[in-house]
Structure 1
Amino acid sequence: MPLTLRQCLLAEVLGTAILLIFGTGAAVVDEQTHALGHSAVAAAFGLVVFLLIQSLGESSGCHLNPAVTLGFWAAGRFEGRRVLPYAAAQLLGAALGSGLVKLVATPGSNLGATLPAHGAMQALGIETFLTFGLMLVILRVTAGSKEVGMLAGLAISATVGLEALVGGPLTGASMNPARSLSPALLSGVWTDWWLYVVGPVAGALLAVAVDRVLQPKALAATNAT
């Protein structure tokens, strides 16, 4: 039996909260103790995404990201009436997650905020590219025979971990407006926050366009209907 919208939204709130607790929580732990290192923080993001996909994927699709939800809608694989409720649930979950992280953070912590290492425009380009890569992988491994299964979750989580590993020192490798806005809100660190909304949305929509080009004509026609 299909889940109700309320159940799906609860899964998105819970999943996005857990993503922030363990993802940005790892960044805060490393900030305070220097016990993890950048590679371990990137691994934490990848691991928590894998666990969430495996546990919540059949409940809500486990988007955890307004840009991903928007991308699925643009690809014709998600109902338009659910886009705003999903995004609201993700933002609420992220805020709850950051709130819990703040309880263990030292005063003055940025709570794992995403900040550009160099210029804003360079960071915008990087965030667009990273989200493009993530969304393209998501679209390609959640279609046809690969739609359900551990390998799809592994591919998506590995992409998150890889991009966090490489892009993290440059932009924080957000790829997710909810992931960036909640630490900014609770820490008060709003430096260039807009690029962590514009970049992921642009990257997700670009991935949808490229995915359509890569699809066989019969499948593309089916998705368009």
Structure 2
Amino acid sequence: MDHQGDQDQVPSAPSTPVTPGTPGAPLFGGFRPDKGGNASRKSLLKSFKCFSVEDWGAMEDGTVLPKVSCALSPPPVSLARRVGAEFIGTLLLIFAGTATAIVNQKTGGSETLVGLAASNGLAVMIVILSTGHISGAHLNPAITIAFAALRHFPWKFVPVYIGAQVVASLCASFLLKWIFHPIMSGGVTVPSGSHGQAFALEFLITFFLMFVVTGVATDTRAVGELAGIAVGATVMLNILVAGETSGGSMNPVRTLGPAVAANNYEAIWVYLTAPILGALCGAGAYSAVKLPVENGDNHDKPALTRSIRR
């Protein structure tokens, strides 16, 4: 019987450029099982790539063994899966952050600023760790635009990602409006001081956030596996600093969805412009101070590697 058909490889969907850690690259590797034993083994071998060989050193018995560092390339992820994961991740983030603010208003401030900061930070961390390997877990149009500007994300996918983020924000906000009606105003981020003060704070805290995100997501020397913790902690810190004054949005869709649901558009221009400008500057700042690539081979290595020594 002819088994030639079993070995044919199904063309994979075009994959966007990935970066280590998140957003933009898998946090954890994995394999997609293929039907047919021969095809599965062949695709597995093709994904197994070695990128360095060096001497291990003398062993106790005097022999010298080679050390081979190899990587298992992650399987391609379709755009539909990426957008679906981005939608669900943004939905969870907006739902958790906005719901905490609404409950805080309903209970007379029982959540406190620390609780609000912790809720948003934990939501970001959870989403990055659970969906970062699928979509990159941008969750924020400002981050998506900044990554595209630095050529870490294709511009052609930017409208699709931002569309998913906006729709997820609206869905989460109207769901909360239905659950907690008529108490919804607590979830809207509005400045308690002047608009200029709110703009400055939103710009700065988004600058700091994007600086951290760019470091853990684009630099192969950063600990990408801890990206969720680093980014979540940064979000929590930023809200502790700016939450009382500007609401600590850092995200246009964090403000847009609740504003539409509550019909409250006070100073919305601040939250639609300052985070985007801050993210662009933060990403550019990290790129400016980033350590130079040694031997020019840092970007030739797979975005996520599992070191196998034998």
The alpha carbon displacement at 1:127 in A equals: 0.4
Give the strand-richer structure, 1 or 2. Answer: 2
Instruction: Give the secondary structure class of the aligned counterpart of 2:87.
Output: helix
The alpha carbon displacement at 1:117 in A equals: 1.0
Distance in 1, Cα, partners of 2:178 & 2:88: 18
The correspondence for 2:233, drawn from 151, 155, 158, is 158
CA offsets 1:55-114 (integer angstroms, 9 cap, x no match): 000010000000000111112110110111100100011111112211222315215111
Give the helix-richer structure, 1 or 2. Answer: 1
Cα RMSD after superposing both structures: 1.6
Q: Which residue of 2 aligns with 1:122?
A: 197
Distance in 2, Cα, partners of 1:111 & 1:10: 28
Q: 1:11 to 1:111 in 2, by over 3 A?
A: farther
Instruction: Give the secondary structure class of the aligned counterpart of 1:12.
Output: helix
* Contact 2:206 2:275 (C-alpha < 8 Å) held by counterparts: yes
TM-score, with length taken from structure 1 = 0.93
Q: Which residue of 2 aligns with 1:4?
A: 78
Q: Which residue of 2 aligns with 1:46?
A: 121
* Contact 1:25 1:101 (C-alpha < 8 Å) held by counterparts: yes
Distance in 1, Cα, partners of 2:283 & 2:121: 22
The structure having more radius of gyration, on CA atoms, is 2
Q: Which residue of 2 aligns with 1:33?
A: 107
Gaps of 5+ in 2: 1-74, 300-310
Q: 1:87 aligned to 2:199?
A: no
The alpha carbon displacement at 1:194 in A equals: 0.7
Distance in 2, Cα, partners of 1:176 & 1:207: 14
* Contact 1:101 1:111 (C-alpha < 8 Å) held by counterparts: no
Q: Which residue of 2 aligns with 1:18?
A: 92
Q: Following superposition, which runs of at least 4 residues in structure 1 exceed 2 angstroms of deviation?
A: 145-148, 216-219
The alpha carbon displacement at 1:36 in A equals: 1.4
Alignment of 1:66-105 (within 5 A): 66-105=141-180
Q: Which residue of 2 aligns with 1:112?
A: 187
Q: Which amino acid aligns with 2:285?
A: V
Q: 1:7 to 1:59 in 2, by over 3 A?
A: same
| Aligned residue-pair number | 221
Gaps of 5+ in 1: none
TM-score, with length taken from structure 2 = 0.68
Distance in 1, Cα, partners of 2:95 & 2:147: 25
Distance in 2, Cα, partners of 1:177 & 1:147: 28
Q: 1:139 to 1:192 in 2, by over 3 A?
A: same
